[in-house]
């Protein structure tokens, strides 16, 4: 794992906010996937904030995208926010960039 990668968690009612920071590599992708998988049954919406990521290694993004379908998230909305949100885009996921938002 990238030695500086962290996931900060914050709960808000039925929503979970995950703030990603540091470098996102293959091991970081697995860590994020594990957190999402554990959280889906407990939360209605999971917001994943990407503004504090420094480096997004293409291999890590590939690992994340190729394994996301293995998570049972049918009852949970997963929304990526921030300047790196679109880099995580995958069918069935929402992302919001900038102050105005959008998809």
The pLDDT tens digits for 36-91 are 999 988 999 999 999 999 999 999 999 999 998 888 777 888 999 999 998 987 76
The reply to whether 72 falls in a domain is: yes
The reply to whether 102 falls in a domain is: no
Domain that holds residue 63: 6-96
pLDDT at residue 100, as a whole number: 39
**Model confidence at 29: pLDDT above 90:** yes
The reply to whether 10 falls in a domain is: yes
pLDDT at residue 40, as a whole number: 86
Question: Cα(43)–Cα(67) distance, rounded to whole angstroms?
Answer: 20
Q: Which residue has the tokens 């900038």?
A: 98
Question: Cα(79)–Cα(58) distance, rounded to whole angstroms?
Answer: 20
The reply to whether 18 falls in a domain is: yes
Question: Cα(43)–Cα(35) distance, rounded to whole angstroms?
Answer: 12
Return the biggest CA–CA distance within the chain.
34
Q: Which residue has the higher pLDDT, 40 or 94?
A: 40
Question: What pTM, to 2 d.p., does this model score?
Answer: 0.85
Q: Structurally, how many domains does the chain consist of?
A: 1
**Model confidence at 101: pLDDT above 70:** no
pLDDT at residue 73, as a whole number: 77
């Amino acid at each position: 794992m990238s030695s500086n990668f962290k996931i900060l968690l914050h709960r808000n009612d039925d929503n979970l906010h995950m703030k990603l920071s540091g470098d996102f590599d293959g091991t970081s992708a697995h860590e994020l996937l594990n957190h999402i998988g554990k959280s889906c049954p407990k939360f209605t919406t999971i917001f994943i904030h990407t503004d504090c990521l420094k480096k997004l290694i293409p291999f890590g993004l590939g690992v994340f995208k190729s394994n996301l379908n293995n998570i049972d998230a049918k009852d949970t909305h997963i929304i990526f926010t921030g300047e790196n949100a679109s880099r995580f885009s995958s069918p069935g996921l929402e992302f919001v960039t900038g102050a105005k938002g959008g998809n």
